[in-house]
Amino acid sequence: MSAQLDAALSAGFVRLLNAGQEDADCGGGHYDPKSGDYAVGIVVSGTEARLDVAVGADRLATLLTKELLPLCRAKLRTGGAKPAPPRPGSVGVLEASPVDEETQNQKRGARTLVPPGTVVFAEVLGRTLSGRPLLSARRLFRRLSWHRARQIMQLDEPIEVKIYEWNTGGLLTRIEGLRAFLPKFELMDRISTFTDLKNNVSRSICVCIIRLDEETNDLIVSEKKAWEMTYLKEGALLKGNVHKIFPYGAQVRITGTNRSGLLHISNISQGRVLSVSDILKVDDELKVLVIKSNVSDKIALSIADLESAPGLFLSNKAKVFSEAEEMAKRYREQLLVVSRNTKLDYDLPGETIPFDNEATLYANWKWFKFLRHAKSGDGNDRT
């Protein structure tokens, strides 16, 4: 596209987006893109290889399609198609007068990944040899993705992902477009062969982020932690079987899993327990409550907190188990009261990019604005 067409289209967009301002404002200078700036722009035209984007500068910016977010190629549109009239909330595309026959022929044969009028958010990489600003949406998207990943890790909540690949060490997935690794020892099911790993491809599972380092592109997730966050929250009621008896308590295997927790002798009953083996036997079926553990990565269980009266489990196990749901509910309600009185700090350490403030984040935000498209005949039409 010639410099003449660049100037015509860019100036047209500046006039469009500054419509309705004071004359003095409209006559102001252009935005001067600098390397490292974040900018918002509007697609004017393009081909399969690049897009021409208005950013309020004296020339249109170039955005290579490889620097654009992945798009479905099945939805390609021909560049020669005439854009639809602007709708409320959309940005109109000004059509420049023909500059030369060669340029027009190029435009007619062009195919673009996104239609004119599309709003894009990008980082300024610098300028091309011809002096046009060079943009990358992918780089900005990557920064946003790491920002979101840090938020997810900070909130410590399980998320669902889809496995798309495997290797000898584990499984590969994506979080916010970023490549994430799920080590095989962080899977709930024991992995014995490569076939076990391969069978997980295309499976959707819940994971938690356990390690994150943007500088080394390190994003590690765990299915075990997600399972614990979902099913082993303090106050969760579980079923299990006594697996082993110890002098200090019992190991309880949680039903339907390969995970076990410790039912300490002090948590068997609120009454006095002299010997664990006098109360429990191997393979006994139990209902147990997950309580806060004093040992990291260990599951602590309790029956004492399910008793509606001190020592009830020693005299009437069936009654304790029949009331277990109600007692577990009361326990969780008490936890809720405590959590409401606890101040949670979700500030992200080290964040320097104001993603929550567009006016501060984007260098040309004052130039960019949506205009209300008045309906014909209401007396408020703009031309």
Q: By C-alpha distance, which of 8, 25, 24, 9 is closest to 366?
A: 25
Write the CA distances from 208 to 60, 161, 344, integer angstroms: 43, 10, 19
- Report, as ranges of residue numbers, the positions in the chain whose pLDDT lies below 50: 1, 5, 8, 11-12, 14-28, 71-106, 344, 346, 348-349, 381-383
pLDDT of residue 47: 86
pLDDT confidence of residue 192: 87
Look at domain 233-322 and name its CATH class.
Answer: mainly beta
Question: Whole-angstrom Cα distance, residue 161 to residue 174?
Answer: 7
Q: Is 63 exposed, middle or buried (0-12, 13-18, 19+ CB in 10 A)?
A: buried
pTM of structure? 0.62
Is residue 36 within 8 A of residue 120, CB to CB? The reply is no
pLDDT at 279: 94
Domain range 3-136, CATH class: mainly beta
What's the fold here for domain 156-229? OB fold (Dihydrolipoamide Acetyltransferase, E2P) (2.40.50)
Looking at residue 160, its pLDDT comes to: 95
Tokens linked to 121? 């958010």
Query: How many C-beta neighbours within 10 Å does residue 294 have?
Result: 8
- The residue ranges of every structural domain in the chain are 3-136, 156-229, 233-322
Q: What is the pLDDT of residue 55?
A: 92
Please check whether residue 292 is in contact with residue 300, taking contact to mean a CB–CB distance below 8 angstroms: yes
Distance CA 249, CA 265 (A): 4
pLDDT, position 336: 81
What would the two tokens of residue 291 be? 């309580």
Locate the DSSP E strands across 143-187.
Answer: 159-162, 165-167, 170-175, 178-183
SS3 161: strand
Residue bearing tokens 């308590």:
249
Class of residue 44 by CB neighbours under 10 A (exposed 0-12, middle 13-18, buried 19+): buried
The predicted structure's pLDDT at residue 301: 96
The residue ranges of DSSP E strands in the chain, in sequence order, are 38-46, 50-54, 61-64, 77-78, 111-112, 119-127, 133-136, 159-162, 165-167, 170-175, 178-183, 204-213, 218-222, 237-246, 249-254, 260-264, 285-291, 300-302
Q: How far apart are CA 301 and CA 118, in angstroms?
A: 56
The yes-or-no answer to whether 3-136 and 156-229 have a common fold is yes
